[in-house]
Every structure is written in C-alpha cells, then in structure tokens.
Chain A
Amino acid sequence: MAAAQPETAMKDLHQPSESATGGSQFLTFNLGEELYGVDILRVQEIKGYTAVTKIPNTPSYVKGVLNLRGTIVPIVELRTKFGMPTIEYTMVTVIIVVVVKEKVMGLVVDGVSDVLDIDKKDVQAPPNFGARINVSFMNGIGKSGDKLVALLDIDRMLSGEDMQGVAAAAA
C-alpha cells in the first residue's frame, strides 16, 4: 500500500497544470482589439469595476486592493502588466476574479467577451517573437472560428515575487 502512495501524489501534482492546458472551456475577454482567454475553472466571478485602494510601493500594474465581501483582494491591471497604454474605464470595464495558487486576485480587463470551447487540436504553441515580446505567460494560441485567442497561463503570470513572494527590498 505504501508503495502506491507516492504515485498518487505525483498524479495530484500534475493535475492542476494539466487542466490549465487541457481544459477545453475558456473565458475570453478583450484588451483593445485583442482577445485573451483564461481557463474557466480558474475564474471565481466577474464583477463591475469599483474603485480600489492603491498599495504604496508596489509595481504599477498592481492597481490596488479591493474589499470582496470582507476579504482583501489585490487587483492587477492587465494593460499595464502587458505594457499596453491605459484607457479610461467604461461601463463594460470589468474585474475577472481568478484563483492563483489558492490566492484570490482580480484582473482589470476592457470587457468580457464569451465562453469558448476550444479543442486541444486547435491550440498551437505560443509564437516565438524572440526577445522583443515576452510570451512566457502564454499557454498557446487558440483558434475558434476566425477568432484568435491568446490563452494565458495565469499561474506563471501572477505568482511572481511581486504578487505572492516575500517583500524583498520592494521594486
């Protein structure tokens, strides 16, 4: 019996990353004209944008924190995170609340679009732009009809030291 245990433990470890890549349903959202997708199982809720409290001495893409029914949730502005120009928030600007390694976080995006079924065979590896563009937090490019969806690996994107690590000499 004891011999079987490590094996199951290994399987459990593989589970999350497998579902992150193999999950077939994605919540898609817009940033400008571009379409992005996150694994729907990682999305806790979608809420309208409300004012946040800025956290001193944190990277600029950390917009601030929000009171989500009594818990303090950090909010990341994806445009800033991707180095895109910021825009005025509108009626459709939303916060997608996701769970990253047991921590709850919010992503500010221009608007949610759709829930798409994307088959595994319709997902291709992230393109290589060399050093010009960092695609390390993309899982791949999904195709749905004539739409192109950049599938995000939010674990890699949001689990860095800035979001979860110990506060080193900040910045």
Chain B
Amino acid sequence: MSNEFAQFQDAFFEEAAEHLAVIEEGLLQLEQHPEDLDLLNKIFRSAHSIKGASGMFGFNAVAQFTHKMETLLDLLRNGQAAVSSTIADLLLKSTDCLKTLIDAAKSGTPVDNETVQRLTVELAAASAGNVPAARHASESAKVAPAVPTGKAQSYAINWTPPEWLFQRGLDPLQVIKELGDLGTLSQVAVDVSRLPDLAEIDPERCYLSWSMRLKTGKDRQVVEAVFDFVREDSVLTIEECETLSVKREGLESGNEIRFTNDERPSESGAAKPLGEILVESGVVSRAALDEALAQQKRVGEILIEQHAASPQQVEQALQKQRQQEATSQSKKADTASIRVDTAKIDKLINLVGELVITQSMLSDLGTRFEMSQIHVLLERMAQLERNTREIQERVMSIRMLPIGTAFSRFPRLVRDLSAKAGKKIQLILSGEETELDKTVIESIGDPLTHLVRNSADHGLETPEVRLDDNKPEVGTIRLNAFHEGGNICITVEDDGRGLDREKILAKAAKQGLIAENEKLSDDQIWSMIFKPGFSTADKITDISGRGVGMDVVKRNIENLSGTISIKTEKGKGTRFTLKLPLTLAIIEGMMVRVGRETYIVPLLSILESLQPRPESVKTVIGKGELINVRNTYLPIVRLYEVFSLQPEHTDPTKGILLILETEGERVVVMVDEILGQQQVVIKSMEQNFRKVEGIAGATILGDGTVGFILDVRGLMEIACREAPLVA
C-alpha cells in the first residue's frame, strides 16, 4: 500500500475515533431523552461517515457492521421503532464492537468474529421489529453461523436498484461485494441498456441493473438481508436454480460488461501478476499456469539448494524480516497527531507577522542609531518582549486540549458501573472546556478512571442504605476541572459514606504501618490509603477493592509532577483533588545559589526553607549532621559537597536549608541563598549529553546561560553513598 494512502488511512482512524466518541456520547444521552431527534440525527451522521469512509478504504467488515447499525438508527430516526433501553444497550454494545473492528483494521489483527456475528444478527432482528425477541435471536444466532446448512445452493439474482441509489450515497458494488463474501459469485453482469446518452445523464441517478449467480451455503434470508438497505424501490428477484443458463434480454443487447469475482482488480490498484495476464490473453491455460506456479520456489529455498545459505541462516533472516514488519507496523501506530483549531493558527500567524514587523523596526533603528534614541529602542524592545511572550503562550496552547476528551469516557463507565453494582448513580461533569497539555490529558485518564470506580464502588452506598440515611436515593459523582494559578485542578467528588477513620486506623495498625496508639492528623490518616496494598473494602468486587490502585494513582499523578489530596466527611462524601501542571515542559522552580552557580529546585518538592539556630544542628558519629525540624531529625546534605563546588557559606546557620520531600522521603539540602521563584522550561540533558546524577534536566536562565534543575531523588542517592565522589 502506498504511503499517501497510509496517510489518509491515519486520518480515517483518527476521524473514526472521533465519530465513535460522538456515537457513544449521543447514545448515552439518548437513553435519557429518547425523543431527541437532533441527537439521533447526530448519531446517524457519525455512523454514516464511518460507514462511507471505511468502505472507501476497503475495511469491509467495518463498513458492513456500521451499515447494520445504521439501518437500525434509520428506523429509530423515522419513528418506525422506539428507543428502548434494550435498543440503546444493543447499540452501545455494537459501538464497542465497532471500536474493536476499527482497531483490528488499524493493527491488522483478526477480530472476534462471533461477537460481530451475534451483534449483526441482533441488530438485524431489532431492525425487523422483533425487539423483545432480541435475546432469543442472539442465542439462535450463536449457532447459526457456526453450522451452515451444508448444501451449497445456487441463486440467480437479478437486481435493479432504485434510481435514488446514488443520491443516498450508497454503493451498489458494496452490495455485490457483500454477496461475494457469502459464497462464490459468478457471471456477474451489469445491464447498461437503460443508460441514456451522456448529455442526458443525471449523475445522481442509477440507470444500471445487475444479474449474477451466487453459490452459497447460506440461507435465502441471509442473501436477502444483504439487500435490506436498498430493498426499497428495488426490483429484486432471487431464484434458486440448478442450471447454469441465464438468459436475459439486457445481456443480449451486447452492451455487456463482465467481471467475475476473482478477476476483479485488487483494491490497492496493483497490477495483475504476469501469469494472470497470460491466462487472460489465452497464451497459456489456467492449468498450465497453476502447474508452473507450483514449481516456483521461494528465494530462501533456492539459496538453500544452491548451498549459498544454510536452512538455519534463512530461517533467521526470515525471522528478522518478520520482526522488521512487526516493528514497522507498531511504529506506524505510534505516530501521534493533534487537531488544532484554525482560529488558533490564524492568531499565531498574525503574531508572527507582528514579530517580523517589530524585528524590522529594530534593525532599521539599529542601522542609524544615536544615543538620543535610546527611549525608542527600549520601547521597541518592550514590544518585542510582548510579542515573544504572546507567541510562546499561543504555541503552548496548540498542545492544549480541553479536558472534556478525558472526561468523555466517564458517562459510559458510570452507567456500566451502576448497573453492575446495583446502585443508582448520577454523574455530573463540569469544566470540560478547561484546557491542558495533550500528554497530561492522555496520562490522567487511568488515574481518574480509578478514582471514579472507587467512588462508585466504595464511596456510594446502595439505594436502600442511602434512603435509610435520609439521603437521596441516587448517588452523585461530580467531576470538575478548573484552573488555579499555573495549575489545573481536577476534583472527583461523591456524596457517599466518606472515609472511615477508625477502619483505616485499625487496618494501618494491623499492617504495621503505624504504631498502636500513634497520634495522627486527619490528613496523615487519609494519606494511608495511598500506601501499597492498602484496602479497607470488606469484600473484593470485580470493580475494585484489591488494594492495588490508590498507590498507583498517586504514583501516576506524581510522575506528572502533580499532587493528590483528600477531603472527606463521614456520611457526607469524599473529594479527591488532583493538582497538575498545565504542561510537562514547564515547571515552577525555586532558584537557589551555591557559590557562583545557580540551581533550580522543583517547587513541588520544597516543604519549607529555614535558617537554623546553632543548637538545632546536631551531629552523629562526629560528622553525620542532623537538624531538628519540629522534633524530627532530618539529615543535612550540603549541596556544595555533593557537587564539589566552592560555597560562600559552610556553616548551616549562615546558609539556607531547604526541606525537600520526594516519594515520602525527606532530606534537608543546604544552599547559600534563595534567589526567587520562576517558571522554567525543562530542557533535556540527554539529547546531546548524558544523564548526570542529581540533575533532572537543564533550563535556560534569564541571562541566556544554562541552569540545572535538581533531581531530589538523585541527590539523596549521592548523599547516601559512603565514599565521597571524585570529579
């Protein structure tokens, strides 16, 4: 397949994913508002787009399946069938199935045909109007495709499609192809006798009719079902026959175009193999060709025969080839793209235009500069600064997507969870338009899912319990996103039973996480649930409760340099607040100085900074320094020692101590001075150099020089090593 084609395919998959999201969202809403015709139309349009595009790219399984869904949707749209929860459920399941089909088409992996078949039949049954029997149909259908009737039956099919065929965007070839999938199609002929002169042709009208023979093991109904969508106004005859003679007037007029199924040019438009052409032109017979082909050997076999390579070597090479194919495939799946609002790009282009103007004004000024014009220079410099800052912001915003894309999966999730857990749950989403970095959005999906599952399973009570507690029967889960400072906050909130203080304490004591009568603040108690293996659930359900999870959630959030906090009240509910940076490329940092070097400490890891009193600094074994911070002794790491620098101060009481925390461990780092807080853009050290211990990355400081961002974890590790480092 050519590269350009692959490129369009990528676009198709991307669009299909979007359409699927629209369908799913629409179906969920449709359940609530069954009469909403606009909604139905929206769903129909998306399904139709998938069908059309997938057919164009030759993903027939997808096209056929979508077609079945579309039939049902069309009936709903025309009011010929009513939206029931059974139908909505069926359509949702079909959407899932469609998703797997599309994924399969993307990766080229086989699909679970049984599900597809079953849903196809269910959809057909629902379209035929016997919705209540859907369950029944699904059972019988499970058997049907597996056991064909055994006898191959021959059908003579004559089909004159309705004239409006093209107007509705239908493709007659699709129907014929579908027939071909049922069995062997032969003597396919098109009748063009009704075709008017070119000048009179209405391109949106179908003047053609077809005749063909189909040999299949399938029932007559199955064959008829292929025409379901085009049956209206069609002239269709399907006759069972044993004889091979077909005589129709249209064919005898001589205007005959023939193609049989196996002679049809391949979809990718590749040229025919030489043998085929020879057979067609009558140079050799089919049998002779087959014989010749059978003698043909693979390159590897020939090489082995000629002793040019050993069988093992060939086998290895073949394996390598397979690997390469596999990697090239996986590479293809990895290419990520982003859709950007054109308005954003237009604005950016405007800004770049302004930047160019500012630059030319400056260079104009530069060529004939006098000291008296210094104020003009300063003014233009200020303008340049404004331009660049705005461009920076706009460029960053290109990577920003509304968080709604991450939220969109939750209505479905909550719907399924509530059904599974027998609870009544209402999901309220807000702040979906809040924008944040694409990579962040992609990585918060899983942690959020986990929190929502937890709320649904542990947080919310069953309807009976809720009624007993004088609460509304329907539990509420609220997802909210909003900006706060340079961060984005996402809250997951439920009005369920809240965290049980006593239960957590008892469990923590039992697992030896805390001493029996240790005094803990509420926050400390709540943070217990983030410890690995900690679960207070009485019973393990298949939704959650295994005690794996909250620690993973916490770790994921921390990987994004974010924080997670809990607010809970017994009987009232629980709220998890995730605080995330807007983008991973920029962090909030504290600039510190050691000697003449400037380092940046990630602000998130700083708990506090202080200048100690002499009496609070103690030593053990003569040199191990500890500092007393509110009755806890923490080890001091002198940054100048770790990094072999020339410091200004060597006395902790003269310098500044930063108390840093990472992954629950604390360390005190001594520096000379705190210079201030700044947002810094993280640059990779590994791109041109290598990883340096104790340094997380580099950044460009205000004066254009490079500053290093400290890696708190790495610092601890260096400090823990016994021998001092030699540069």
Report which A residues bind B (CB closer than 8 A): 2-3, 6, 51-60, 64-67, 70-74, 103-105, 163-167, 170-171
- B644 contacts which of A56, A72, A165 (Cβ < 8 Å)? A56
Measured CB to CB, the closest approach of chain A to B216, in angstroms, equals: 38
Q: Are B725 and A53 in contact (CB under 8 A)?
A: no
Q: Which residues of A contact B303 (CB under 8 A)?
A: 3
Contact A67 B705 (CB under 8 A): yes
CB distance from B53 to the nearest CB of A (A): 32
Which of B299, B706, B727 lies in contact with A72, CB distance below 8 A?
B706
Contact of B700 among A58, A67, A104, A163 (CB under 8 A): A67
Contacts of A67 in B (CB 8 A): 700, 704-706
Residue of A nearest to B317 (CB): A6
Please name all residues of chain B whose beta carbon is closer than 8 Å to the beta carbon of A104 when the two chains form the complex: 688
Contact B644 A57 (CB under 8 A): yes
Instruction: Report the nearest A residue to B692, measured CB to CB.
Output: A55
> How far does the Cβ of A57 sit from chain B's closest Cβ, in whole Å?
5
Q: Is B113 an interface residue (CB 8 A)?
A: no
Residues of A close to B321: CB separation below 8 A: 2
Interface-located stretch among B221-229, B666-674, B679-687: B679-687
Enumerate the 7 nearest inter-chain pairs by beta-carbon distance, A residue then B residue, closest first: A56-B643, A53-B706, A74-B689, A72-B698, A103-B688, A167-B691, A104-B688
Please indicate the chain A residues that have their CB under 8 angstroms from the CB of B698 in the complex. 53, 65, 72
Chain A proximity mask over B705-722: 1 for CB below 8 Å, otherwise 0: 111100000000010000
Q: Which residues of B contact A171 (CB under 8 A)?
A: 725-727
Main DSSP-derived SS at the A contact region: loop
Would A165 and B690 be within 8 Å (CB), given that A2-B299, A57-B643, A72-B706 are in contact?
yes
Closest to A165 in B: B690
Given known contacts A65-B689, A165-B690, is B695 in contact with A56 (CB within 8 Å)? yes
Give the nearest-CB partner of A53 in chain B: B706
Contact code string B33-52 (vs A, CB < 8 Å = 1, else 0): 00000000000000000000
Q: Is B687 within 8 A of A71, CB to CB?
A: yes
Chain B residue numbers with a CB within 8 Å of A70 are 683, 700
Question: Is the CB–CB distance between A72 and B688 below 8 Å?
Answer: yes
Besides A55-B708, A72-B683, A72-B684, 17 other A-B contacts (C-beta < 8 A) = A53-B698, A54-B597, A56-B694, A56-B727, A57-B692, A57-B694, A57-B727, A60-B727, A64-B706, A65-B706, A66-B706, A72-B687, A72-B698, A105-B689, A164-B689, A164-B690, A167-B693
A-B contact pairs, 22 of them (CB 8 A): A2-B299, A53-B597, A53-B707, A55-B692, A56-B643, A56-B708, A56-B727, A57-B643, A57-B644, A57-B694, A57-B718, A57-B727, A58-B692, A64-B706, A65-B685, A70-B683, A72-B689, A72-B698, A72-B706, A164-B689, A164-B690, A167-B691
Q: Is B170 an interface residue (CB 8 A)?
A: no
Compute how far the CA of A105 lies from the CA of B690 in the bound complex, rounded to whole angstroms.
12
State whether B692 touches A167 (Cβ < 8 A). Answer: yes
Question: Contact: A163 with B706, CB < 8 Å?
Answer: no
A123 to nearest B CB, angstroms? 30
